Amino acid sequence: MKTLRLILGDQLNSKHSWYKSKNEDVTYSIFEMKQETDYVTHHIQKIVGFFSAMRDFSKWLQDEGHNVVYFNLDDKKNTQHLTENIQLLIKEKKISKFEYQLPDEYRLDKQLTSFCEETSIESKVYCTEHFYTKRRDLNDFFKGKKQFLMENFYRVIRKKHDILIIGNQPEGGKWNFDKSNRNKWNEKDKIPPIKNFENPISDILELLNKENIKTIGHIKDKSFSYPINRSQALEQLKYFCEYLLVHFGDYQDAMHTEQAFLFHSRLSFALNIKAISPKDIVTTVLNYWRKHGEYINISQVEGFIRQIIGWREYMRGMYWHLMPDYKNLNYLENNNKLPDFFWTGNTKMNCLSKAINNSLDNGYAHHIQRLMVTGNYALLTQINPDQIDAWYLGIYVDAIEWVQLPNTRGMSQFADGGKIATKPYVSSGSYINKMGNYCSNCSYNVKEKVTDNACPFNSLYWNFLDDKRDYLQDNFRMKMMYSLLNKMKPEDLHKIKIKAKDIIENPNKY
């Protein structure tokens, strides 16, 4: 029976059981498509990263002796549409069975499900063999519950997989060392040089230019610096363990004008294309720590593992638990337009300028820059979450909708009304000042609210609380802030709201 197997661009798992044996009757297919380059405006590094990784994986499959059909973006046979390409190969190669791995994006899952329902040939779906959890596990885990707390889920996963567990209790005496993970970077703790992988991409850049693919962001030296395959990802993981893990937890929330990556692992792209698995990462980090625990505190390890088996698995589960309605939620009824400077980085607000330019330069920003700088500003200025989703999905090399959407619409923008976050993650300039040095070099004064040189975040924060009072004042985690707002003199609040109104209506002036 001639079989066609589809491999999506984020399913580059060389350890998948599909590849354990060779079969002359099995053909693997991988497609570069405008369907994927054009559904949102992507960062140039994101597209070249995906294409580079896909081409590398195709070569690996061929070297292993598998039959592969690879459509470059400009291939004359390429219809630029997923199911049309599949149908073309089914006809051309007289295929009698179609197989694919479960997509992690709802739109692709729907597209392939519809195709299989409509086609006359036999089809079969496989697990991607990547995650700790199954797609629908959270349906059962949170059944009958009003709140979907990540911490509860995280503890169950820890116990189930015996990760940092002694007996039935957390190793180190705590489930969560988050309070130890909130330090401003101490420059005495030197940051090692970035480990770059100079993956050549000149031909891909020429291809994108020839095909007029619209992109954002920048790329330097005509190479892609993040790992694109399992071998490179394991090298990066080894480097992280040896040089970065020792301070990861301490500074995972820190921000600095001169440091794009600090002690972060740079593994998210490789992880999200499945070149390396979360189990690979967690096992390696734990093994390294067991051997070198005398100089690496458990807070560094737990802080990192929480991101992998806590937030990452949780966000995927929530995505599948809440889709497709989740994509349209706008609980706070925010409808303002995203400012132009989100595409250029041209703003006098230093924190936003640094975070956005870092994103444009590297296709990367760590979670606090995404949550408490760009996301915070977008929520305080009441931007339509559709526009925020499109920006976050496009600008980061690691952004795939299953992880981007719940982080953005839920965690960052509170557009789901609290399904993921128990409160909106908003702050005045004081939090940004606490976690980094952005404010020390800014045009604005972080201590002022309404003067000409006042930090815009300050008036925006109190204005947001006042504007969204009906939605938020009964939130138990917001009680203290509303108590302070209620004590504010009416004339002071009036001045704040006038200032905030000007910022919201004229964002590119600031």
For the stretch 111-126, pLDDT in tens is: 999 999 999 899 999 9
Look at residues 351, 13, 317, 8 and name the one whose alpha carbon lies nearest to residue 150: 317
Phi, psi of 262 (to 5 degrees): 50, -120
Average pLDDT of 298-315? 95
Q: How far apart are CA 299 and CA 290, in angstroms?
A: 13
Look at residues 78, 75, 119 and name the one whose alpha carbon lies nearest to residue 100: 119
In CATH, what class is 3-126?
A: alpha beta
Where in the chain are all domains bearing CATH 1.25.40.80? 137-322
Contact at 8 Å (CB) between 31 and 71? yes
CATH number of 329-509: 1.10.579.10
- Lowest-confidence region among 143-157, 182-196, 232-246: 143-157
Q: Which long-range contacts (CB under 8 A, 24 or more apart) does 62-65 make?
A: 64/19, 64/22, 65/22
CATH number of 137-322: 1.25.40.80
For the stretch 222-238, pLDDT in tens is: 889 999 999 999 999 99
Q: Which long-range contacts (CB under 8 A, 24 or more apart) does 18-25 make?
A: 18/126, 19/61, 19/64, 19/66, 22/64, 22/65, 22/66, 24/67, 25/1
Structure tokens at 1: 């029976």
Q: Which helix (H) or strand (E) holds 490?
A: helix 490-505
User: Residue 475 pLDDT more than 90?
Assistant: yes
Structure tokens at 35: 């369907």
Where in the chain are all domains bearing CATH 3.40.50.620? 3-126
Q: How confident is the model at residue 148 (pLDDT cuts 50, 70, 90)?
A: confident
Contact at 8 Å (CB) between 226 and 197? yes
Q: How confident is the model at residue 180 (pLDDT cuts 50, 70, 90)?
A: confident
Where in the chain are all domains bearing CATH 1.10.579.10? 329-509
For the stretch 254-305, pLDDT in tens is: 999 999 999 999 999 999 999 999 999 999 999 999 999 888 999 999 999 9
Contact at 8 Å (CB) between 215 and 49? no
**288 vs 220, more confident:** 288
Q: Return the DSSP state at 375.
A: H
User: Quick one: pLDDT at residue 178?
Assistant: 84
